[in-house]
Structure 1
Amino acid sequence: MRGVPRLLTYCAVAGVLAAGVAAPVALGAGLLSNQVSDAVDGISATLANSDQPLVTTVTDRDGNPIATLYDQYRVPATYDRISNAAKAAIVSIEDHRFFSEGGVDVKGMVRAALHDSSGGSTQGGSTITQQYVKNYLINVVDRNNKAAQYADSADTIARKLREAKIAVQLGQTESKEDILTGYLNVVEFSGNIYGIGAAAQAYFHTTPDKLDVQQSALLAGMVNNPNLYNPYTHPDQALQRRNVVIDAMVTNRMLDASDAETAKAAPLGVVEGGPDLPSSTCMGAAPDAGFLCQYAESYLEAAGFTQDQLATGGYTVKTTMDPGVSQAVKDAVDANVPTTQDGVANTFAVVRPGSTTHEVLAMVANRNYGTDPAKGETSTDMVANASDVFGAGSSFKIFTSAAAMETGKAGLNTPLPNPDGDCFTPPNANQYTSCYPVRNDGHYSNPISLRDGLALSPNVAFVGLESRVGMPAVLDMARRLGLRYSLNTNDAGATPDPSSSNTQYSQPQSQYFQDKLSFTLGDSPVSPLEMANVSATLMSGGTWCPPNPILSVTDRYGAPVPVKQQACEQAVSPAIANTLEAGLSQDTVSGTSATAAKAAGWHHADIGKTGTTQESESVAFVGGVDDYAVSSLVFADGRTPQEICPGTPVHLGNCGNGAFGGTVAAPPYFRAFTTILGNRPDIPLPAPDPAYLDARG
């Protein structure tokens, strides 16, 4: 007798639905009736307003796809882009009365109720319309709510009645073609594959309009139990189920018997080693695109997009990546430091200067964006992050020079005291504070002009200048010119930890270095991307803009989506920016990278500043040419950092005379931009402003 209530309820439901009555109140089951009535209208509205999760496509600036982001791999297809074989297969096996019923198969429900009441295995009696409702609730509306998903599939009268009523409503408002299309686009085929379009690609490397009988039958058979009928994990069951579908197509007069036998004799024919899904993250991007893709994703999240929106919104994100520039730079860094070279990273960023935006054209490294260290991969964005924890060396003298010009302490012609060694009193010192000893690495003229100092990079002259300018002004200049993110990290390149008793970890660099004259020697963690943007600020007439990786975002319908961007700022006057560019124009001519430039046959007018940390654990070249601002940073990135040694390849070791910015970090720049620039005429550098050639006041 246990099945009698279920049977009576199903019979009542069948009667109500057959009569076209929308309200389940006619069943006379008060509480159940109220549950269903209260829920259905709200769910129907939710169904109508809930978009299916779609794949977001990330492209380069030319529109070429570089990555996909998704939670559910779905490639939607319209009715006319689904083969007749696929439609026939799904209707034959799932609901052969689909085109004649009204959303709910009353006969099927009664038959299921009679079968269930006799104690046999439970039969659903569900139509394709009902399955569409159920799958839409599970895979779309409630995809992030496990409890709700469980309720959507629970074997309860309330759930089935609710589902049936919504199906009736759909049957009255939607065409059969739209319902079948919607079902084929929402249903799961196994794993993370949703919809006939994604399944056609993943299992057969084809499109849904080209699915043949045996392919269509295999996919139609899977929807009943995607795991059991998975052709890779259960090929025998999948084959048997496929042939059952083919037989059903014959029974329903949608396939000739002779064609059916031919189809049943065919192998499964799925993609070898599949299913073949694209990566759902930027780690699937090409080696020259992964870091920029990840930076674009982070940039959009900072602009207000959620991770879920990006993974389900079906956006097209056109980035600023220049494929030609990116590939040339990637080739150059790989030639300098192989991808799997132990303990040595070579990052390279390229930013296009501008007064309204600084477009990021390339973000690459010898490392690739991924999860396998044995293949030279890293799962952090080492180009955007403050990943060079040893610092960019003397390239930080740019900040001291700019601050000195702005405060009037020095101009390009100003002679700077430059003995071989000196010991400087740190800021905020007391009688117990030791002086800060500094020595030059080599012999230079004493005094030396700021112009020659920028080219030859003596340490004593610049620490002395920094001491006279003052740390607040120098640190503020570093922030204004571009180190917005880096200076907010601590002296380990991480988010400051206020609970630490060590100021090296508890304070941001902007605070930690207020009393440390070593800052101008570049011994603090820094973002390679931000160093390229420093050059972009100078080359933009002193205008700072955030390094921007986004050209446009459009939604699933092709409509533009606005992206918030931090406003650009006039960081320094055009006069200071132009004068500092003039001061940086000799590095590749007579300065620290001149020998490497000559060896590379370099002849372009450019700006540059090299850097080398004390133990040669990091070397840098920061500069720019024409409308490209660049940074090339080579640094130790392993668990046991050591001195970096020049050679083929660049490597770690104890070479006695380690790498320098001019000998190891600059060559990838010369190699890449010789290719990028070709024979185009140079863009001349701006002339210095006479007001900043000498100290003032």
Structure 2
Amino acid sequence: MTPGLPCLPASSGCEVTKPPRAFSTLAPVRKRDGLFKLLGLCLLAGVLTAGILFPVVGAAGVISNQASETVEQTSSNLADVPPPLVTTVTDSGGKPIATLYKQYRIPVAPNEINDSLRWALLSAEDKAFYEHHGVNWARTLRAAVSNTAGGDTQGASTITQQYVKNYLINVVYRDDKAGQDTAREQSLSRKLKEARIAINLETKLSKDQILTGYLNVVEFSRQIYGIGAAAHAYFDTTPEKLTVPQAALLAGLVNNPIVNDPWNHPDKATKRRNLVLDRMVSNQKLAKADADRFKAEPLGVTPDTPAKPSANCTGAGPENGFFCQYVEDYLIKSGMSKDQLYTGGYTIKTTLDEKANHEAKVSAETQVSKTQKNVANTLSLVKPGKDRHEVVALAANRDYGIDQDQGQTTFALPSGVYNTGGAGSSYKIFTSAAVLNQGIAGIYSNIPVGSSYTSHVFTGGGSHCPPTGPPLNSKWYCVSNASKNSPGSSSLQEALATSPNTAFVGLEDRLGGTGPVIDMATKLGMRNTMASDTNGAEVDPKDPKSVPQSKAYGPTDKTPGYGAFTLGFSPTSGLELGNVAATLLSGGVWCPPTPLASLTGRDGKTVPVKEEACEQVVPEGLANTLAIGMSKDDQPGGTSAKAAAAVGWDRPMIGKTGTSQNNGSATFVAGTPQLAGAAMVFRTTGSGGLCFNGVGNVTTCGSNANMFGGVTPAQTWFGAMKNILGDQPIAQLPPEDPKYTGH
């Protein structure tokens, strides 16, 4: 017989392998009536070992060298494919706010597995673990004989073999059903291959490493994998603190976690736990009296459900969930797959300022009730800078979550292109920047401001007011102002504060079309917005009607573009609108609005993230001068003056309100040198207007709509920023550049 093959004592022709000295109290010898059958199995083992399991010379083996190489490759996969781990998202101070995972797993080290757990598992699954070398031949070959007689091979695996099987199912082939089915296949060939890998592992890993590896991989149901996560989820404890009955329950689960689930099937779970306790007694690892006492104890699992964290951004809660969602979207856009994000075990330290985010949430919810149907109110805040634009807050009146009846949503309202009603006159910033860039006017230049204006450049209707000038051969584009009082003319700075439509459509005419305005919108920050289609969705290359806004509203061979672009009718991202203010307050340097402070891998090393580089998109003098041009909105006569006065605002700032057609959405983009951002209120579905009926009472409505950017959006921005900035020093705006003043 083959030397070293474990058999019972006195079995003829077999060498007895004694248990390690430290484990000398294993189960008693089997009864004599099994010796003859076992002797036959030992003989069969010798044949299989020589002919199948160890093919080392030419054609002497039954399995080819190619099969042997496959085994080696599979064995290597166990080391090359790391198990899925939990990714942790933190705020700017390192405090965890969310976990992202597909498998809830908390890895443990060998010294964290106590004796209660060790002997509960081995008594239940593999009491000869410390005796065999990866395969329990008595059990495996008995199953092989059963298989040849029409039985199956279940129940024959050692912990090492189960480690191999579970690693293949839960790690290597976790998203490959065909691979999982192969790993579960009840066939002799699969068992033999599994045995070879197990033997290979036993030559490379210690017994404690194998046991720990198995306990880190095995499933405990409900997305709970590994003993670290199971101890926490089932008993709110750690593996080294598990009691004997707790360990017995968990050891019993690995056999069939769904059937023995203690919440769904407490009777079956109790029966299985007690069976493990009995096996510990039989294995001489537990006194019978203690086992009887433990059997009388309740299961003791956490009430109702496992104590495990949420597997996605809902775990960040109603306030921080929108920020977490932006982190996920940002990393995926940067090249990380969602699978990598949810299995990589990263630590993502974000730029989230929880105090600022809280104030933003409170202010947004103060202005519009969280349960108000079909009305969203958002606030996005970005820190200006010439090397980074860090996002510090993303908030909404709605709570982040999945309970729609409570007004919750998982749509990225503050950051995504969800305001399909548009930003209104906030887009006049881009027309102003283009005019300054081309030298058409400076911030103090006088520009015409009539009560109505008819464009001779743009076409597309306007029958509500008559054309002026020479007769037109085509339709004209005519606009009027919200206010019937017109000064006739004003400086560009005054026009930015009072926002007459006629002045800015006239400036578009002088630019020759929307091309320079759209180009400036893209440069200053509206990049995802301009790349989205006219419904705010990603462009579908298969749909000829799905084109980016930059193309849909821009000039063509036949038209100079849509003159209404400066009036902000197109879908808009609030975060990008806020980043426009950050770009102007950074001397014209655009940077991607980043939510990332650092990204660390499971090994503790920094993981590089591919982020877009910062760009000097307009001359610094232009940006600084336009900031001065936008600095009067909060002053008497400005569209946000009342909202500023209501909170006692006393800081230099830039600002621009906007209201879309039919008052269905409104915005306020603004900033100080320390912090910039944008507030938006909009209908989430359908068309129509919004009615402002007082603070906290904003509703959808029809022809009597009265929402404006200087009301809810401005009140949201000032209400949050007053508390966020608190007693921080007052910072001055940068000096203007005479080149862009018009003097």
1:441 corresponds to which of 482, 485, 491: 482
1:380 offset after TM fit, Å? 2.4
- CA distance, structure 2, for counterparts of residue 153 and residue 240 of structure 1: 26
Within 5 Å, which residues of 2 pair with 1:85-234? 85-113=116-144, 122-234=153-265
Superposed displacement of residue 203, structure 1: 1.4
Deviations 1:98-127 (A, max 9, x none): 112211112222443455567667543211
Q: Post-superposition shift, 1:8?
A: 12
**CA drift at 1:586:** 1.2
Q: Which moved more, 1:21-30 or 1:492-501?
A: 21-30
Question: Aligned equivalents of 1:70 and 1:507: distance in 2?
Answer: 34
The CA distance in 2 between the partners of 1:431 and 1:158, in whole Å, is 86
More off after superposition, 51-60 vs 440-449: 440-449
- Structure 2 unaligned segments of length 5 or more: list them: 1-36, 461-470, 556-560
Q: Name the SS for the 1:652 alignment partner.
A: strand
The answer on 1:659 being equivalent to 2:659 is no
Tell me if structure 1 keeps the 8 A contact 2:143–2:152. Answer: no
Taking the aligned partners of 1:120 and 1:636, their CA distance within structure 2 comes to 65
For the pair 1:337 / 2:379, whether they are aligned, the reply is no
* Selected match of 1:523 from 569, 578, 582: 569
Taking structure 1 as the reference length, the TM-score comes to 0.94
Output the amino acid matched with 2:336: F
Deviates more, 1:598-607 or 1:650-659: 650-659
1:211 to 1:16, Cα distance in 2 relative to 1, 3 A: farther
- Aligned equivalent of 1:3: none
Report the 3-state secondary structure (helix = DSSP H, G, I; strand = E; otherwise coil) of the residue aligned with 1:364: strand
Kindly state the Cα deviation for residue 383 of structure 1 after the two structures are TM-superposed: 2.0
Query: Quick one: which amino acid aligns to residue 124 of structure 2?
Result: I
Output the amino acid matched with 1:615: N
Does the alignment pair 1:259 with 2:290? yes
Aligned residue type for 1:628: L
**Distance change (3 Å), C-alpha of 1:98 and 1:416:** same
Decide whether the 8 Å contact of 2:425 with 2:659 is kept in 1. yes
* Per-residue deviation, 1:83: 2.7
1:491 aligns with 2:537: no
Query: Structure 1 residues 9 and 494, CA, compared in 2 at 3 Å: closer, same or farther?
Result: farther
Residues 303 and 564, structure 1, Cα contact 8 Å, conserved in 2:
yes
Q: In the alignment, is the contact (CA less than 8 A) between 2:78 and 2:167 conserved in 1? A: yes
* Distance (Å, rounded) in 1 between the aligned partners of 2:549 and 2:424: 19
Compared with structure 1, are the counterparts of its residues 148 and 10 closer, same or farther at alpha carbon in structure 2 (3 Å cutoff)?
farther
Which residue of structure 2 lines up, in the alignment, with residue 360 of structure 1?
391
C-alpha contact 1:607 1:624 (8 A) present in aligned 2: yes
Q: Which residue of 2 aligns with 1:584?
A: 630
Q: 1:242 to 1:667 in 2, by over 3 A?
A: same
Aligned CA RMSD, in angstroms, stands at: 2.5
Shift of 1:371: 3.2
Structure 1: how far apart are the matches of 2:687 and 2:270? 54
Q: Tell me the amino acid that sits aligned with residue 632 of structure 1.
A: A
Q: Which secondary structure does the structure 2 equivalent of 1:103 belong to?
A: coil
Structure 1 counterpart of 2:642, from 584, 590, 595: 595
What is the letter of the counterpart of residue 460 of structure 1? Answer: T
CA shift, 1:521, in A, is 0.9
Contact 1:18/1:106 (8 A) holds in 2: no
Contact 2:691 2:701 in 1 (8 A): yes
Asked if the contact 1:7–1:113 (Cα under 8 Å) also holds between the matched residues in 2, the reply is no
Choose which of 95, 114, 118 in structure 2 pairs with 1:83: 114
Q: Deviations over 1:556-582 (max 9, x none)?
A: 010111011111111111111111111
8 A Cα contact 1:498 1:507, kept in partner? no
Deviation at 1:348, TM superposition (A): 1.0
Judging changes above 3 Å, is the alpha-carbon distance between structure 1 residues 114 and 341 closer, same or farther for their aligned structure 2 residues?
same
The residue aligned with 1:538 is 584
Corresponding position: 1:458 with 2:495? no
Q: Distance in 2 between matches of 1:206 and 1:436?
A: 70
CA distance in 1, matches of 2:287, 2:176: 45
Distance 2:739 2:57 in 1: 91
C-alpha distance in 2, partners of 1:532/1:644?
24
Deviations 1:290-327 (A, max 9, x none): 22212211221222211111111111111111111111
Q: What TM-score do you get using the length of structure 2 for normalisation?
A: 0.88
- For 1:640 and 1:257, the matched residues in 2 are separated by 74
| 1:508–1:13 CA distance, 2 compared to 1 (3 A) | farther
- State the alpha-carbon separation in 2 of the partners of residues 497 and 666 from structure 1: 35
Alpha-carbon distance in structure 2 between the residues aligned to 1:142 and 1:123: 20
- 1:166-186 residue CA offsets vs partner (Å, 9 max, x unmatched): 111211221111010000000
**Given that residues 646 and 659 in structure 1 are in contact (C-alpha distance below 8 angstroms), is that contact kept between their aligned partners in structure 2?**
no
Counterparts in 2 of 1:123 and 1:343: CA distance versus 1, 3 Å: closer
Q: How far does the alpha carbon of each residue in 1:374-421 deviate from its partner, in whole angstroms, 9 at most, with x for none?
A: 222223222222111111111111111111111011111111111111
Q: How do 1:224-373 residues align onto structure 2 when only pairs under 5 Å count?
A: 224-373=255-404
Change (3 A) 1:77 1:278: same
CA deviations over 1:624-647 (Å, ceiling 9, x no partner): 123111100001113454333242
Report how far residue 372 of structure 1 moved.
3.2
Q: Is the 8 A contact 1:618 1:633 kept in 2?
A: yes
Give how far 1:35 is off. 6.3
Matched, 1:550 2:581: no
The whole-number CA distance in structure 2 between the counterparts of 1:303 and 1:235 is 46
**1:284, distance to aligned residue in structure 2 (A):** 2.4
CA distance in 2, matches of 1:466, 1:13: 91
Q: For the structure 1 residues 8 and 445, does the alpha-carbon distance in structure 2 shift closer, same or farther, using more than 3 Å as the test?
A: farther
> Do residues 50 (structure 1) and 81 (structure 2) align?
yes
Q: Contact 1:633–1:665 at 8 Å: present in 2 too? A: yes
Given that 1:102 and 1:168 are in contact with CA atoms closer than 8 Å, whether structure 2 keeps it comes out as yes
Q: Does the aligned pair in 1 maintain the 2:479–2:502 contact within 8 Å?
A: yes
| Shift in CA distance, 82/685, structure 1 to aligned 2, threshold 3 Å | same
Q: Is the 8 A contact 2:534 2:552 kept in 1?
A: no
In the alignment, does 2:667 pair up with 1:624?
A: no
Structure 1: state its 5+ residue gaps: 1-5
How many Å separate the matches in 1 of 2:90 and 2:40? 55
Amino acid at match of 2:534: D
Q: Which amino acid aligns with 1:437?
A: C
Q: Which residue of 2 aligns with 1:682?
A: 730
Q: In the alignment, which residue of structure 2 is the partner of 1:637?
A: 684
State the identity as a percent: 47
Q: Does 1:565 align with 2:606?
A: no
Question: In the alignment, does 2:717 pair up with 1:669?
Answer: yes
CA distance in 1: counterparts of 2:686 and 2:595, whole angstroms: 31
Code of the residue aligned with 2:737 in structure 1: it is D
CA offsets 1:226-250 (integer angstroms, 9 cap, x no match)? 1111112221111100000011112
